[in-house]
Amino acid sequence: MIVVIATALLLGGCASAPEETHEPFTRSSRLISAIEDHLTDDEYGAVVNRVQYGVTTGLLSDTERSEYLQQYVTYTRERYDQAVTDGEYREALKTAWNLRLLARHLPDEPVSYTTGDLATTDQLLADWATFARENDDAVLSLYLILRRDQISDLSGEDLIYYIGVAREMNHDEAVGRLTAAARRRELVVPLPEDPVDADGDEPGLMLPGTVTIWVNKGIRVDRGVGVPDRVIGSGFFVDPRGYLITNYHVIQSEVDPTYEGYSRLFVKLPGRPDERVPARVIGYDRIFDLALLKVEIDPKYVFSLSDIKTLVPGQRVLAFGSPGGLDSTITSGIISASGRRFLQMGEAMQVDVPINPGNSGGPLVLPSGQVAGVVFAGLEQFEGVNFAIPTYWIRHFFPQLFEEGEVKHAWLGISVRQNGTGLEAVYVAPGSPADRAGVEPGEVLTHINGETGLTLADAQDQLLGIDAGYLVHTVWQKTEEDDTVSTTQRIISVGVRPYSPVEEALERQPIEALFPVLFGMQVDDVSGAPWGPDFVITDVFPGSVADESSLSVDDPFALRTWRVDSDLRAAFIQIIIKKRKAGFIESGVQLGAYLETDSFL
């Protein structure tokens, strides 16, 4: 066969060469070629998404679908077995989940889903906790135990051990849960040996668990005069081995590859202003503005993160930090509101607490002593209003901060808006998991892994709880041209979320493709008409930039210019528009939107 092909190539220029025969190029053949390429590159998550596309479009036969799924299952089962053998419990949890999900949602598929001998999630978490315990990582061990659906099946010895760990971590919520389980077993729970370990610690006892973060960036020139360039923030210990949490923006110069200047990081302990303790960044999360640092000291107090999802407005809180570098400062106030959408993922809480520059990264503490949030101070557009990152969201990826480098989050690759039935996809990122699985703008996501009544926060909550490579079962609805509603189920392998989906998209697409995401309007391109404008608006999302700028459906406009301001982290467009509400009088309008939009899943 090789000889025949070579001969044909050699004789390609001769008039007497035989006519070449090829398989006809079809959508099916192109899809199969893409799947085969993914298999060659061991990109099995992409295989699942391509197969899902082939199933919903009818481009794959039942035999082809089963064959490719069988290869995925075989690969995943091998990864599971190897992960269990090697003690890679994060991978074991993912692969076990994926196999069970396929078996549950494709029971009639003629593929051997070998799930009967898989360890349960609780068992894998217990094994992982034991591994962490044996490696002197008590914080991770306790965290993993608390993630289990049940703790009542723990041995009496383990329950007493974890109660002791929870006390050492000042984790009153964990102490209460574990103690209740122990007493149901009629176990004798030892009393705390140190009064610091008692419930409801006094604020003064917590201060030794806080630090002032200093980043020395050398000298900067201001109006011809050299002045010291310093970044001051706050932090608090979360592990007795010297690990502490602060904001990413405080230590950004330490890990930002685009920063080329001088940068030295150290911390100052309470009551010791002249002593500088060198620190290093372990892990960081740009999306949630968090970083985990390590110092070689034994902290006198360790804070714990609360699992409370929603804090009631009016609830009292304390803010610990170093405003202006003044260490050991405690201010009090209340929760003003929850559910503020300022982050790319999750929600922030608004607080009425005196907070100033230097408080960034400090703990927001409940009267019980648990950390309810991490202060990230105020936003420029909201002078005098302060915010914090709830620890409920942090708990999802808290263990990953202990791993070197940047925390990676999962994503589907769609931007959505809330409607009456679910989350409508208004944009699908090219090459994303959702794109490869065949999701199109206009489809409405109604279920993720069985959860209904989805809000944006609900969907992001689910994605934060998993890593890239996990399978999710989704249900979508679409209104057809005849007003009937079709329903499609898709199993999608989630990918790695880019830090700034909008910026990544702008490198591959024109800005008009991002109009729904940035400005909240959908448009039709009518630039083919030489006498008319470039676009006409077909939909305006309530509360969006377009809506607040009084743009409306059927308004024609011409896009004159656009730019991205890297310093402001915003995109701007200038358009010439004929607003229907203004009698179609032509006017110039500039629209601006932040790049870090919160609408992506």
Instruction: Write out the catalytic residue numbers.
Output: 249, 289, 360
Residue 460 in contact with residue 339, Cβ under 8 Å?
no
Q: Which of 455, 434, 452 has its CA nearest to residue 443?
A: 434
The backbone torsions φ and ψ at residue 435, rounded to the nearest 5 degrees and listed phi first, read -60, -45
Cα(478)–Cα(487) distance, rounded to whole angstroms? 7
Apex 230 CA angle, 227 and 233, nearest 5:
155
Beta bridge partners of 82: none
Cα(439)–Cα(494) distance, rounded to whole angstroms? 13
Q: Which helix (H) or strand (E) holds 415?
A: strand 414-418
* 109 C-beta neighbours (distance < 10 Å), count: 16
Tokens at 289, concatenated: 């503005």
SS3 label, residue 262: coil
Distance between alpha carbon 40 and the CA centroid of its chain, in Å?
29
The backbone torsions φ and ψ at residue 322, rounded to the nearest 5 degrees and listed phi first, read -130, 70
Cα(20)–Cα(357) distance, rounded to whole angstroms? 73
Secondary structure of 417-443 in HEC code, one letter for each residue: EECCCCEEEEEECCCCHHHHCCCCCCC
Strands in 327-393 per DSSP E: 329-340, 348-352, 363-365, 371-379, 382-390
Apex 536 CA angle, 434 and 587, nearest 5:
130
Residue 344 in contact with residue 329, Cβ under 8 Å?
no
Cα(434)–Cα(579) distance, rounded to whole angstroms? 35
Residue 171 in contact with residue 370, Cβ under 8 Å?
yes
Residue with tokens 């970083």: 291
SS3 label, residue 15: coil
Kindly give the pairing relationship between strand 348-352 and strand 363-365.
Answer: unpaired
Cα(452)–Cα(294) distance, rounded to whole angstroms? 41
Tokens at 253, concatenated: 């110069």
Side-chain-facing half-sphere of 589: CA atoms under 13 Å: 23
Show Cβ contacts of residue 117 under 8 Å, excluding neighbours closer than 6 positions.
none
Identity at 278, one-letter amino acid code: P
Q: Which helix (H) or strand (E) holds 587?
A: strand 585-594
* 155 C-beta neighbours (distance < 10 Å), count: 9
Show Cβ contacts of residue 314 under 8 Å, excluding neighbours closer than 6 positions.
334, 335
Cα(365)–Cα(374) distance, rounded to whole angstroms? 9
Tokens at 412, concatenated: 């589907």
